[in-house]
Structure 1
Amino acid sequence: MRKKWKRKILINNPEELDRVQIKQNLLDGNQVIVQFSHPDFYTSILEEVDELCARLDENFGVRFYGHYSLSFDARTLLRIPHVKMLHLNSLVQAHNTETLAMLEQLYSLNLGIHELENSEILGIESLRSLRDLVIMSDKKILNLQYFKEFSHLEQLHIGGKVKNLDAIGDLEALNYLALHSISKLPLHFINRLKKLKYLRILLGGREHIQEIEENEIDHLEICRIRGFHDLGNISNFRALTSLKIEDQAGLREIAFDRGMEALQEISISNCKGLECLSGMEQLPSLRKLRIFKTAIDFDSFIGQKLPSALSEFEFITSKSKVDQEIQDSLFKLGFRKWSI
């Protein structure tokens, strides 16, 4: 299952809450987050926020951010014991984070504290029931060994300094994984994630992802990884429907050397060293293709056999005259522009 992105509606430092509008926004399929940037703004309203937390589902949440020159006191969370979605992010410091243990209804947690005080924070028992977790650690080395107890976790975005990364492989229910700024640590554990459908590897540094064997991943995204130059095992992603590659200057070639029957969308952006994208005939279901700022020669590329299903094709060099000529050529060939 692909991660479902929902529009986030933020209510910033409110003096009062419009309950009717909040409920309507939730009925429309959005997430609603009441957020506070300083203790002065939540002195009198948190009990009302908690009442809504108790009545509404996990798409209604609370966020604490900013608090510049202050350390966020996590004992504040004792005032919202019914919170299901909680964001403690864009914070420099926080203390008393053990208070998270008192939040027994947490479904989703976004934790981004620059100077995280507790490297063993994932050992807090109440977090084991989480379905959705974002956690970033810039200074402390976050211990991931506790993941073997997170049997319900379906979506994980993790980044920064970590140890025991291999413990992610114990998350049997995981279907979405984003690895952010995690450099060079081996990725063999991904082969144990049999339900994984959505994989994003962002920032950090590594040369390849050759450790990943044949899998059932649906969406693959590789973005701004230092030193990355080899995507030779792309055919191991046999169930892929969407491929997104961005800001990979060292990548010279992507070759589809065997049939990938499910692949429908490819977006390649700002890969200035990429000279060759071959094997397009192996992609019978490809409908959408975007090639932006690469070293691929358009005339050579368009001369190869392209999938008959391809209908939306965008090829951009960022040279306005050349791009207009290419756009005219693609239009004459019956292709439409890429649509979001």
Structure 2
Amino acid sequence: MGKRWKRKILINNPAELDRAQIEQDLRGGNQVIVQFSHPEFYGSILEEVDELCARWDENFGVRFYGHYSLSFDGHTLLRIPHVKMLQLNCLTQAHNTEALATLDNLYSLNLGIYELENSEILGIDSLWSLRELSIISDKKILNLQYFKEFSHLEQLHVGGKVKNLDAIGYLEGLNYLALHSISKLPLHFINRLKKLKYLRILLGGREHIQEIEENEIEDLEISRVRGFHDLTNITAFRALTSLVIEDQIQLQEIGFDREMKVLEELSITNCKGLTHVTGMEQLPLLRKLRIFKTAIDFDSFINQKLPGALSEVEFATSKSKVDQEIQESLLKLGFQKWGSVR
């Protein structure tokens, strides 16, 4: 089904705020983020931004990014004590980050500071009531042990250099987890996350995800993971409705050897070593199928037993003449193009 993301409306370095427009956008169910790329832009307007933070929920947020050749000063945060959604990302450096401890209303935090100096930043107890957290550490090894204290966390995107990764297993309310550039560390802790519905494994390196046992995950994405070649435990994901596999050049086969009763969408792109997807008849509810840039032979694939529910199919090799012929064949067989059915 995919995660339902709200539309983001960015207001960049404003000289003044159009409160009526902001209200209209928020009431329309969007996220509105006021963002600043340099201190010269937020000098006189942050107090007004804070007033809006106090008035609106976590769908109104503040972002600091860029600040090229400068280190972001965390003391700036003292001027927005009511902020509920805060993004400090695309920043090279920041200092005085302990000022995060003064933010008692935080619901959502996105930290992407390339030279994050405080590897114990998750020990700041005002962060322990967060519902959403995204944190990437590129230089220092980030200590995740503090996740034992994050009892309200529902969404987590974590990556880079980390230690105590298995502390994620304490996040019992976690619904969404993205692991970014985390290599080879075992994933047994995922089996403790009984409420997890969305799992994304992005970049980094590992050969398989065999540690993950039967689960209730509905949405799985594996993208650009170096060395990944084994998806034989895919049927442990019995609640899966959407599966996305991208840029896995060593993956040679995907086999559904047991019925997956609720899988509706399957997307496989840029897996150049993939020669076989078998057991398609085990996917009775599959509606949408995309196979793009693989080594799968179209004729033998399309002649296997396919699910009766299948209505949208995209199969492409990136060779335009071949792809035109394939597209014509699919139309003759009664399949629509992926995304064409509304």
Same fold (TM > 0.5): yes
What are the within-5 Å matches in structure 2 for residues 56-135 of structure 1?
56-135=56-135
Residues 158-184 of structure 1: CA distance to partner in whole angstroms, max 9, x if unpaired?
010000000000000000000000000
Quote how far apart the aligned CAs of 1:4 are.
2.6
Q: Distance in 2 between matches of 1:294 and 1:3?
A: 26
Q: Distance in 1 between matches of 2:131 and 2:308?
A: 40
Residues 237-270 of structure 1: CA distance to partner in whole angstroms, max 9, x if unpaired?
0000000000000000000000000000000000
Quote how far apart the aligned CAs of 1:137 are.
0.2
Residues 276-330 of structure 1: CA distance to partner in whole angstroms, max 9, x if unpaired?
0000000000000000000000000011000000000010011111111111111
Q: Does 1:339 align with 2:333?
A: no
AA in 1 matched with 2:136: M
Q: Distance in 2 between matches of 1:56 and 1:3?
A: 23
The answer to whether the Cα contact below 8 Å between 1:103 and 1:126 also exists between their aligned partners in 2 is: yes
Q: Distance in 1 between matches of 2:185 and 2:128?
A: 25
Q: Distance in 2 between matches of 1:10 and 1:321?
A: 41
AA in 2 matched with 1:237: F
The secondary structure found in structure 2 opposite 1:327 is helix
The secondary structure found in structure 1 opposite 2:140 is strand
Q: Which residue does the alignment assign to 1:279?
A: 279
Q: Distance in 2 between matches of 1:217 and 1:18?
A: 41
Q: Does 1:234 align with 2:234?
A: yes
- The size of the alignment, in residue pairs, is 340
Q: Which residue does the alignment assign to 1:191?
A: 191
The secondary structure found in structure 2 opposite 1:16 is coil
Q: Distance in 2 between matches of 1:13 and 1:275?
A: 50
The secondary structure found in structure 1 opposite 2:53 is helix
The secondary structure found in structure 1 opposite 2:158 is strand
Q: Distance in 2 between matches of 1:61 and 1:4?
A: 18
The secondary structure found in structure 1 opposite 2:62 is strand
AA in 2 matched with 1:32: V
The secondary structure found in structure 2 opposite 1:67 is strand
Quote how far apart the aligned CAs of 1:2 are.
5.9
The answer to whether the Cα contact below 8 Å between 2:2 and 2:242 also exists between their aligned partners in 1 is: no
AA in 2 matched with 1:61: G
Q: Distance in 2 between matches of 1:2 and 1:334?
A: 25
Quote how far apart the aligned CAs of 1:136 are.
0.4
Q: Which residue does the alignment assign to 2:179?
A: 179
Q: Distance in 1 between matches of 2:321 and 2:97?
A: 57
Q: Distance in 2 between matches of 1:30 and 1:297?
A: 43
Quote how far apart the aligned CAs of 1:28 are.
1.3
User: Which stretches of structure 1, 4 residues or more, deviate above 3 A after TM superposition?
Assistant: none
Quote how far apart the aligned CAs of 1:211 are.
0.4
The answer to whether the Cα contact below 8 Å between 1:2 and 1:197 also exists between their aligned partners in 2 is: no
Q: Which residue does the alignment assign to 1:26?
A: 26
Residue identity over aligned pairs, in percent, reads: 82
Q: Which residue does the alignment assign to 1:141?
A: 141
The answer to whether the Cα contact below 8 Å between 1:132 and 1:156 also exists between their aligned partners in 2 is: yes
Quote how far apart the aligned CAs of 1:3 are.
3.5
What are the within-5 Å matches in structure 2 for residues 193-272 of structure 1?
193-272=193-272
Q: Distance in 2 between matches of 1:317 and 1:3?
A: 28
The answer to whether the Cα contact below 8 Å between 2:46 and 2:79 also exists between their aligned partners in 1 is: yes
The answer to whether the Cα contact below 8 Å between 1:2 and 1:176 also exists between their aligned partners in 2 is: no
Quote how far apart the aligned CAs of 1:29 are.
1.2
AA in 2 matched with 1:251: L
The secondary structure found in structure 2 opposite 1:49 is helix
